[in-house]
Amino acid sequence: MFAINPTDPAPIWRQIEEGVRRMIALGALQPGASVPSVRDLAKDLRVNPNTVARAYQRLTEGGVLAVKRGEGTYVADVPVQPRKNERNEALRDAAIRYASTAIAVGSELEDAVDEVESAYERVVREHRRKA
């Protein structure tokens, strides 16, 4: 599926939420496909089931996942993507954080851009491999 980064200050449930969104965006999870059960994914990620449940719950509220009670959780038939405004806002926020750390460690813009391109391709490839 994907990995959890313990050194990432972001809450684990948010990392899971973003990970699922990422796999859907890349097509590794198709609409209607079933996602691992709360307990299975928790065991896989070495994480508490409650933490996974929280992520699934948020994704369900957001229309990304659909729950069939007693049966399982599935990718929604029409998974909701963030609106253009929200998307741009989130992206710009992340970009500022990235640029800030790049400058803080003394990197030039070119290096920062190269590193992003490389990382982007790597993440895509990693997900394709497990699709």
Q: Under the rule (CB under 7 A), what is the footprint of DNA? A: 11-14, 35, 37-40, 46-51, 53-54, 56-57, 60, 67-73
User: Contact between 18 and its own copies (CB under 8 A)?
Assistant: yes
DSSP label at 3?
-
| Among DNA, its own copies, none, residue 29 binds (CB under 5-8 Å by kind) | none
Instruction: Name which of 71 and 117 has its Cβ closer to its own copies.
Output: 117
Number of residues counted as binding its own copies (CB under 8 A): 46
User: Contact between 92 and its own copies (CB under 8 A)?
Assistant: yes
**C-alpha 23, offset from chain centre:** 7
CB of 20 to DNA, least distance (A): 12
Instruction: Name which of 69 and 84 has its Cβ closer to DNA.
Output: 69
CB of 2 to its own copies, least distance (A): 9
| Among its own copies, DNA, none, residue 40 binds (CB under 5-8 Å by kind) | DNA
> What residues contact residue 34 under an 8 Å CB cut-off, 6+ apart?
72, 73, 74, 75
Report helix, strand or coil for 26: coil
User: Percent helix, strand, coil in the chain (nearest 5)?
Assistant: 60, 5, 35
Residue 48 phi, psi dihedral angles, 5° rounding = -70, 140
Report helix, strand or coil for 106: coil
